[in-house]
Amino acid sequence: MSVSYRQPGVVLTDRRFTVPLDHADPNGETIELYAREAVASDKADKDLPWLLYLQGGPGGKANRFVGRPAWFGRALEEYRVLLLDQRGTGASTPANRQTLPLRGGPAEQADYLAHFRADAIVRDCEAIRPRVTGGAPWTVLGQSFGGFCTVSYLSLAPEGVRTALITGGLPSLDAHADDVYRAAYPRIERKVVAHYARYPQDVERARRIADHLLTHDVVLPNGYRLTVEAFQSLGIMLGGGEGSHQLHFLLEDAFVRTPNGHQLSDAFQEQVQGLLSYASRPLYALVHEAIYGQDARPTAWSAERVRAEFPRFDAAKALAGDDPLLFTGETIHPWMYDCDPALRPLRETAELLAARTDWTPLYDPARLAANEVPAAAAVYHDDMYVDTAHALTTARAIRGLRTWVTDEFEHDGVRTGGPRVLDRLLALARDEA
């Protein structure tokens, strides 16, 4: 039963759908999807085209907007918008340490999670589209991993897409995870160097925190074990428009003087545990490297293996000399399953996914080369999360795709840029720019 309600300027309706877990077995097990329909209050009775928004991740639920911020307000000027919680996220049959044991042991859990990649998400969208639009194609807006899903959509079911709009999410069509991370670590280092150039005082602050973590066993209030590697992973913040500033403010209040000497402050620990915990998005950790699996090669903890090729990220070596501590970025490592209480019960499941050798292709280069769907993509110059060279190679492989390469925004430009990013993409797709 659908339930409608209002926020300022918006009418929202909760929608729920039942889809197969495995679309190759339509009569088998099912899962539930949740989506929030949104329409401008003054257009609620109008027959409008649909825009499907695919959130970044993997493992990220759709935005819970209040009012009409950023791109959302621009979209509501001419569309009904469907904000989909992709399978396993938000209110869509969640997959986490509490629910996955219902599947059985680690092997059964890993088999279940193998159905949570872009191809399955596209099949979900196609299964619900007739029930939402009456069968009409919709405009798809994909942010980050949502962009990866949009490229899969153009590969698997382009007939369902009226217009494809991608922000910070053009994937390599054929790169293995190792290729992705070999391109990523130098990019991450550039972001860290730029941060220290902006905030030179943070060089010593970061070294001091790292030294404390190398010589003390720190457990955060939620049970997260804060190691130096975990601290370094806060560099993921540097991929956002305000991330460098937020990291600076986090570091400046790290220590407080106590009767037992200087300790990491409660305020610092509280912020850090919120930033590092995967309790609200465990799928991000569980299937992150699987989104790059497209053949018989296992991902095999790619980010961890490739990191060894970049010794400048070794905290102990940096502290033994005068080098600044390098933060890391969007990478998933096996030690996270030891540190994070939300991931600890899923360690064996994650190991099985990392060893899996039956991944199937997510993209169809031949179909993309013959693409007829109007498409446009924002490519953020030196995006920390998605390699620009990989993105532009893919852009050239999709017939008719128009790109907007910009250094005005970071990876979260569709959020921080207000209506401008969506405006630009629509203009490009419509040949108005």
CATH code where residue 86 lies: 3.40.50.1820
- Look up residue 239 and give its two tokens: 């991929």
Which uninterrupted H or E stretch holds 429? helix 420-429
- Look up residue 401 and give its two tokens: 């795709």
Decide if 212 is catalytic: no
Do the beta carbons of residue 297 and residue 203 sit within 8 Å? Answer: no
Q: What is the pLDDT of residue 120?
A: 98
Do the beta carbons of residue 428 and residue 402 sit within 8 Å? Answer: yes
Tell whether 279 and 414 lie within a shared domain.
no
CA atoms in the 13 A half-sphere facing the CB of 316:
3
Tell whether 336 and 392 lie within a shared domain.
no
Active-site entry in 92, 144, 172, 277: 144
Tell whether 304 and 200 lie within a shared domain.
yes
Residue 252 CA, chain-centre distance (Å), reads 28
Place of tokens 């804060």: 226
**Domain-ending residue, one of 295, 323, 354:** 354
Q: What is the pLDDT of residue 122?
A: 98
Active-site entry in 25, 45, 217, 358: 358
The closest alpha carbon to 185, from 93, 304, 80, 297, belongs to 304
pTM summary value: 0.97
Q: Residue-wise over 394-405: b if at least 16 C-beta within 10 A, else e?
A: bbebbeebbbbe
Q: Where are the alpha helices (DSSP H) in 233-295?
A: 243-252, 266-276, 282-286
- Look up residue 359 and give its two tokens: 């991944």
Q: What is the pLDDT of residue 1?
A: 63
What is the rounded CA–CA span in Å between residue 421 and residue 141?
Answer: 11
Work out the burial of residue 66: count CB atoms within 10 Å of its CB; fewer than 13 is exposed, 13-18 middle, 19 or more buried. Answer: exposed
Tell whether 165 and 201 lie within a shared domain.
no
The angle, 0 to 180 degrees and rounded to 10, between the axes of the packed helices 201-215 and 177-198 is 120
- Look up residue 206 and give its two tokens: 């970061």
What is the rounded CA–CA span in Å between residue 83 and residue 37?
Answer: 6
- For the chain, the C-alpha Rg in angstroms (whole number) is 22
Tell whether 316 and 344 lie within a shared domain.
yes
Decide if 383 is catalytic: no
Pairing of strands 138-143, 50-54: parallel
Amino acid residing at 260? N
Do the beta carbons of residue 319 and residue 313 sit within 8 Å? Answer: no
Q: What is the pLDDT of residue 407?
A: 94
Do the beta carbons of residue 381 and residue 388 sit within 8 Å? Answer: yes
Do the beta carbons of residue 94 and residue 88 sit within 8 Å? Answer: yes
Cα separations in angstroms, 105 against 113, 354, 375:
12, 16, 43
What is the rounded CA–CA span in Å between residue 122 and residue 54?
Answer: 10
**Domain-ending residue, one of 335, 354, 373:** 354
The pair phi, psi for residue 430, each rounded to 5°, is -95, 10
pLDDT in tens, the chain (433 residues): 678 999 999 999 999 999 999 999 999 999 999 999 999 999 999 999 999 999 999 999 999 999 898 899 999 999 999 999 999 999 999 999 999 999 999 999 999 999 999 999 999 999 999 999 999 999 999 999 999 999 999 999 999 999 999 999 999 999 999 999 999 999 999 999 999 999 999 999 999 999 999 999 999 999 999 999 999 999 999 999 999 999 999 999 899 999 999 999 999 999 999 999 999 999 999 999 999 999 999 999 999 999 999 999 999 999 999 999 999 999 999 999 999 999 999 999 999 999 999 999 999 999 999 999 999 999 999 999 999 999 999 999 999 999 999 999 999 999 999 899 999 999 999 999 8
- For the chain, the 3-state helix, strand and coil shares in percent, each to the nearest 5, are 45, 15, 40
Tell whether 184 and 227 lie within a shared domain.
yes
Tell whether 285 and 260 lie within a shared domain.
yes
Tell whether 269 and 373 lie within a shared domain.
no
Domain that holds residue 185: 177-354
Decide if 411 is catalytic: yes
Tell whether 298 and 411 lie within a shared domain.
no
Active-site entry in 202, 302, 411, 412: 411
Q: What is the pLDDT of residue 2?
A: 79
Tell whether 205 and 105 lie within a shared domain.
no
One-character DSSP codes across 99-139: TGGGG-SHHHHHHHHTT-SHHHHHHHHHHHHHHHHTT--EE
Tell whether 273 and 390 lie within a shared domain.
no
Tell whether 66 and 79 lie within a shared domain.
yes
What is the rounded CA–CA span in Å between residue 405 and residue 394?
Answer: 13
Which uninterrupted H or E stretch holds 388? helix 388-397
Domain count, the chain: 2
Q: Name the region of 235 (left: φ>0; alpha: ψ -120 to 50; beta: rest).
A: alpha
Helices and strands, counts by H and E, the chain: 18, 13
Omega within 30 of 0 (cis) for the link into 361: no
DSSP-derived secondary structure letter, 414: H
**Domain-ending residue, one of 305, 336, 354:** 354
The angle, 0 to 180 degrees and rounded to 10, between the axes of the packed helices 266-276 and 243-252 is 150
What is the rounded CA–CA span in Å between residue 302 and residue 318?
Answer: 23
